Amino acid sequence: MISPSAPPPPSGASVFVSPTGSDSNLCSQLAPCASFGRAYQVASPGATVDVAGGTYSTQTVLQTQPPKAAPGVTFRAAAGAQVILGGIQLGANNGRASGTSPSNLVFDGFNINGQFPASYAGMATAASNITLKNSHV
């Protein structure tokens, strides 16, 4: 029998986000970050990011320098969690070509109650290789 104080079993994720996290954290299971943007910056190509249940404001994900290669970083709702997002913005609309749009991303298990822009007029590079699974926009 598992004791009540035992940590949860491993999820296979290497990066963690929680609405009560902080972007000054390491994005670990015990010290999750608060935003998708911070999680993407610390994730390695092919990493899985577990997102704890809750309601999040619009999440902005910017390209890393150098850009992340495939395989994609997967953001997924934690097991049994309901995750509601105010939207997802890939790149920044800063009015000039900047190449801030990330690529190689998977979003799995989210209710996205807002916009999901993946490119902006005048931007140097639009987001590419973006996959939505088990999600609603």
Q: How do the pLDDT tens digits run along the chain, 137 residues long?
A: 444 444 444 567 899 999 999 999 999 999 999 999 999 999 999 999 999 999 999 998 988 887 888 898 999 999 999 999 999 988 876 554 455 778 889 999 999 998 887 655 444 566 778 888 998 88
Q: Which residue has the tokens 């610390």?
A: 42
With contact defined as beta carbons under 8 Å apart, do 104 and 68 qualify? yes
pLDDT at 32: 98
Residue 46 located in a structural domain: yes
Residue 120 located in a structural domain: yes
With contact defined as beta carbons under 8 Å apart, do 12 and 48 qualify? yes
Distances (CA, A) of 42 to 5, 9, 39: 28, 22, 5
pLDDT at 77: 97
Cβ neighbours around 112 below 10 Å, total: 20
The whole model's pTM is what? 0.83
Residue 8 located in a structural domain: no
CA proximity to 47, closest of 133, 91, 106: 106
Residue 2 located in a structural domain: no
Residue 7 located in a structural domain: no
Write out the residue range of the structural domain in which residue 60 sits.
15-133
Rounded CA gap, 3 and 111, in Å?
Answer: 33
CA proximity to 41, closest of 21, 20, 18, 23: 23
pLDDT at 70: 86
pLDDT at 93: 63
pLDDT at 94: 58
Quote the number of domains for the chain.
1
Residue 1 located in a structural domain: no
pLDDT at 130: 86
Residue 46, both tokens: 């092919």
